[in-house]
Amino acid sequence: MRLTGADILVECLIEQGVDTIFGFPGGAVLNIYDSLYKYKDKIKHYLTSHEQGAAHAADGYARASGKVGVCLATSGPGATNLVTGIATAYMDSSPMVAITGNVPLNLIGKDSFQEVDITGITMPITKHNFMVKRVEDLAETVRRAFQIAREGRPGPVLIDIPKDITMRECEYEPRVTGQIEKKSAVNTGAIEKALAMIHEAEKPMIYAGGGVIAAEAAPELYELAVKINAPVTLSLMGMGAFPATHELYTGMIGMHGTRASNLAVTQCDLLIAVGARFSDRVVSRLDRFAPKAKILHIDIDEAEINKNVRVAHYIVGDVKTVLAKLIEGIQPKDRSQWLNHVLALKAQKQQPGNGGELTPRYILEKIYELTGGEAIITTEVGQHQIWTAQYYKFTRPRTLITSGGLGTMGFGLGASIGASIALPGKRVINIAGDGSFRMNLNELATAVEYNLPVIVVIMNNHALGMVRQWQSLFYDSRYSQTTLDRKTDFVKVAEAFGAVGFNLTAREDVEKVLREALSLNRTAVINCEIDRDHKVWPMVPPGAALEDVIVDETDLVKN
């Protein structure tokens, strides 16, 4: 059949299983929006308040569902407003297809109105990008984009479509989309060597990251850990890949990891890294990272091998497939002495207690209790993000959605919208700081417009808390531009957007307010007034090794 480029695009999206798209219209994508209007019974378009919100919503949708998220923006500023969201998805390996319009082909390169080289801009932050110059190439380009976004290590792909391409016609042939084949061929010798390393180890430790979640390999990770009696630590992106309630779980690793995790990694004789990339926030001081351990690295992306940390052995392949093969060959071995030692580390002082005041820990633990740990938690970026990872017990994959690699303030609200749409009926709670929330609070209008029961919990310390913490500890309390004594009333802001607002100032009111917000089927904002000097502990000071982790300011004085 003969169709316009705009209709071919929408037909191909439907062919790829897309039923949800986030975007904002403009001149260069008018034909696409006209086509979306015709196909509105097959694809639901969600109009966000800003293109950055559309990108974060598509990302949140992808992370919550495991499907490819899709966002759409016009040329020029519309396209550039997607960039932060695309980079966020790229750093965290989230599958996304971003579609941008551009000026007609004959105007490209002439500084035309709302023209920008978006493929050039996004080249470093996408797995691949395309500019479609022939309508005959459009269908195959869309199919290829979705394949690239899904296969191997997932990530964002951009398709830039000049306006005249959306107007031109050509023959379109529908195609049934096949399953993406996983990289399953694993060298038998590599498996055997890994099994020998595991069997020889007296003190094995597993460090798992977001790659376990992307590969849907949490059951295999669990089985491996239990079979070899190895403690498990997770990166921020790996939260939920192993249940936080399990005895073998030692908590997060790295700069704000638990003392038990950081010391166990320092003392283990085999570190099995699964779907993790050894980021600087995990490794801290490189020359003292896991000094007694042989490192076995399992990852889908060969580029990550020996990139940040030199390893003794590696296996490149689909994590789920590799772990399954390892599990088949595991031999039982008594490691009770090592386990007892790690359990003793867990029992030692980790973080300060709640006291009697309104603390982030108390709020997060109460959220966990009242939701039964079944909520989808999104976060902005800052102290509240780390408190969330520490105090909410994530037991399943895809229940924490956060910006780990890029650390994007303003990510959480858009992501919570995408997650809520991806998983209707699931309770979605966005944990925010007052600084991060201000960045994209305009997306409250989107949540309210689509009747999304998202709850935003603001840890309001009237400061850019994480930066202020560093200024307090390492810059002699010179608080340059981190104090936010602004007059913004977040309850009134929520109400102005059509949401419900709550003020929370006392510990004894936490349960009552949370229960009321949870009982509503509406967008809600809870402003929690917490002390400005609450800090994130534990912490590895800059330039220190994991073993130098401190659990409060008294430790800092000692060191």
Q: What CATH code is carried by the domain that includes residue 267?
A: 3.40.50.1220
Q: What is the mean pLDDT of residues 399-427?
A: 98
Is the pLDDT reported for residue 342 higher than 90?
A: yes
Q: What is the mean pLDDT of residues 184-207?
A: 94
Contacts (Cβ under 8 Å, ≥6 apart) of 269: 201, 202, 203, 204, 292, 293, 294
At residue 186, the pLDDT reads 86
Confidence class for position 176, pLDDT limits 50, 70, 90 = confident
Residues 294 and 397 in one domain: no
Residues 116 and 140 in one domain: yes
Is the residue at 554 inside a domain?
no
For CA atoms 94, 417, 14, 103, give the dihedral sign. negative
The residue from 320, 347, 374 where one domain ends is 347
* Tokens describing residue 424: 């209707």
Q: Coil, helix or strand for 383?
A: helix
Least confident of 104-118, 300-314, 339-353, 403-417: 339-353
Question: Taking all residues of the chain, what is their mean pLDDT, rounded to a whole number?
Answer: 96
Is the residue at 548 inside a domain?
no
Residues 267 and 408 in one domain: no
SS3 of 405-459: the string is CCCCCCHHHHHHHHHHHHCCCCCEEEEEEHHHHHHCHHHHHHHHHCCCCCEEEEE
At residue 180, the pLDDT reads 65
Identify which of 23, 6, 12 has the alpha carbon closest to the alpha carbon of residue 73: 23
Instruction: Give the separation between CA 72 and CA 472, rounded to whole angstroms.
Output: 42
At residue 348, the pLDDT reads 85
The residue from 347, 371, 390 where one domain ends is 347
* Tokens describing residue 559: 């060191």
Residues 392 and 336 in one domain: no
Number of CB atoms found within 10 A of residue 223's CB: 15
Residues 50 and 89 in one domain: yes
Residues 95 and 198 in one domain: no
Identify which of 35, 152, 167 has the alpha carbon closest to the alpha carbon of residue 103: 167
Is the residue at 25 inside a domain?
yes
Residue 531 is part of which domain span? 360-536
Q: What is the mean pLDDT of residues 107-135?
A: 97
At residue 350, the pLDDT reads 62
> Distance between alpha carbon 89 and the CA centroid of its chain, in Å?
8
Identify which of 266, 234, 526, 551 has the alpha carbon closest to the alpha carbon of residue 404: 234
Phi-psi category of 464—alpha, beta or left, where left has phi over 0 and alpha has psi -120 to 50? beta
| CATH code, domain carrying 122 | 3.40.50.970
Residues 322 and 375 in one domain: no
- DSSP letter at 481 equals S
pLDDT tens-digit map of 16-58:
999 999 999 999 999 999 999 999 999 999 999 999 999 999 9
Strands 500-504 and 524-529: parallel
At residue 356, the pLDDT reads 78
At residue 325, the pLDDT reads 97
Q: What is the mean pLDDT of residues 494-507?
A: 98
At residue 412, the pLDDT reads 98
pLDDT tens-digit map of 382-404:
999 999 999 999 999 999 999 99
Is the residue at 224 inside a domain?
yes
At residue 181, the pLDDT reads 64
* Tokens describing residue 337: 């002495």
At residue 298, the pLDDT reads 98
Is the pLDDT reported for residue 553 higher than 90?
A: no
Determine the residue type at 323.
L
* Tokens describing residue 498: 């059509």
Q: What is the mean pLDDT of residues 60-67?
A: 98
Is the pLDDT reported for residue 285 higher than 70?
A: yes
Positions of E strands within 32-155: 44-47, 69-73, 96-102, 128-131
Instruction: Give the separation between CA 47 and CA 4, rounded to whole angstroms.
Output: 23
At residue 236, the pLDDT reads 98
Instruction: Give the separation between CA 103 and CA 75, rounded to whole angstroms.
Output: 7
**Which residue do the tokens 């867990």 mark?**
346
Is the pLDDT reported for residue 376 higher than 80?
A: yes
Query: pTM for the complete prediction?
Result: 0.96
Is the pLDDT reported for residue 557 higher than 60?
A: no
By the 8 A CB rule, do 361 and 431 touch?
no
- Verify cis geometry, omega within 30 degrees of 0, for the bond prior to 538: yes
At residue 128, the pLDDT reads 98
Total residue count of the chain as it appears in this document: 559
pLDDT tens-digit map of 514-551:
999 999 999 999 999 999 999 999 999 999 999 999 98
Q: How many structural domains does the chain have?
A: 3
Is the pLDDT reported for residue 477 higher than 90?
A: yes
Is the residue at 286 inside a domain?
yes
Is the residue at 557 inside a domain?
no
DSSP string, 238-289: GTTSS-TTSTTEEEE-STT--HHHHHHHHH-SEEEEES----HHHHSSGGGS
Residues 13 and 148 in one domain: yes
Is the residue at 503 inside a domain?
yes
C-alpha separations of 165 from 32, 104, 131, 256, 420 in Å:
10, 8, 10, 50, 34
Instruction: Give the separation between CA 184 and CA 319, rounded to whole angstroms.
Output: 9
Number of CB atoms found within 10 A of residue 136's CB: 15
Active site residues per annotation: 51, 113-114, 163, 466
Residues 374 and 340 in one domain: no
At residue 257, the pLDDT reads 97
Residues 364 and 343 in one domain: no
At residue 552, the pLDDT reads 84
Q: What is the mean pLDDT of residues 295-317?
A: 97
The residue from 347, 375, 404 where one domain ends is 347
Is the residue at 183 inside a domain?
no
By the 8 A CB rule, do 412 and 459 touch?
no
pLDDT tens-digit map of 241-267:
999 999 999 999 999 999 999 999 999
Identify which of 555, 411, 452 has the alpha carbon closest to the alpha carbon of residue 58: 411
Is the pLDDT reported for residue 362 higher than 70?
A: yes
Instruction: Give the separation between CA 21 and CA 421, rounded to whole angstroms.
Output: 10
Percent of the chain with pLDDT over 90: 94
Is the pLDDT reported for residue 145 higher than 80?
A: yes
Residues 288 and 330 in one domain: yes
pLDDT tens-digit map of 202-221:
999 999 999 999 999 999 99
Instruction: Give the separation between CA 328 and CA 229, rounded to whole angstroms.
Output: 15
Residues 266 and 328 in one domain: yes
At residue 530, the pLDDT reads 97
Is the pLDDT reported for residue 12 higher than 80?
A: yes
